[in-house]
Chains A and B, each alone.
Chain A
């Protein structure tokens, strides 16, 4: 049972570089979302999607882009990486609502921007 799969697990970027964090789910969930978690803090919502072709901003969207061309995939793009984007990124999917009745999270991507 794959659930929610994130790649890569670790990434180091130089300031100004761009990259895409991948997220895929195999549960046919309509809702998918991206979060960042900074040390000692809870998760903050970056972007979310309520279905293929529909995305919206969360609490901290600046510097990130998303698109949702299929139900399964929800990639997160960093346009021009900054040290402030050093964080652990989690992707999640759920049947109803962004956090929903029960959201399933990936294992996370630890990103360091130098």
Chain B
């Protein structure tokens, strides 16, 4: 089974960069890597996704290891509003199978 492994929790100071790691050693060549975050009492919110190359958008960057067995979500300047649980997800290329990890709870310290 394709699975993801993330640290349970991380802390960051406000306005500092944050690197959230994810291991997915069983990934296959066509599985996509997605990141969603979930604020307290809300539904998940899309952050970013990628396949092989590093990706950037207005929210974050996604750095994917060359062997694709791990990836890192990068928040360039953490704000208090970034405090959430961040989920690294493998989406199989069939599009209808995916695996949520248990997520990393990010605390942002003012």
Contacts and interface: CB of A to CB of B under 8 A. Distances in A.
Contacts of A56: 96
A105 B44 contact: yes
A90 B42 CA distance: 9
A81 interface: no
Given A42-B99, A99-B34, 15 more contacts: A40-B102, A42-B101, A42-B103, A43-B44, A45-B96, A45-B98, A56-B96, A58-B96, A90-B43, A92-B43, A97-B96, A98-B98, A103-B36, A105-B43, A108-B43
Given A42-B101, A97-B95, A100-B95, A108 B87 contact: no
Interface residues of A, number: 25
B44 A98 contact: no
Interface residues on B, range: 20 to 34
Interface of A: 4, 40-45, 48, 56, 58, 90, 92, 96-108
Contacts of A4: 43
B49 interface: yes
11 contacts: A42-B101, A42-B102, A43-B44, A44-B100, A48-B96, A56-B96, A96-B95, A99-B34, A101-B49, A103-B36, A107-B42
Contacts of B62: none
B89 interface: yes
Interface in B2-43: 34, 36, 41-43
Interface string B65-106: 000000000000000000000010101000110111111000
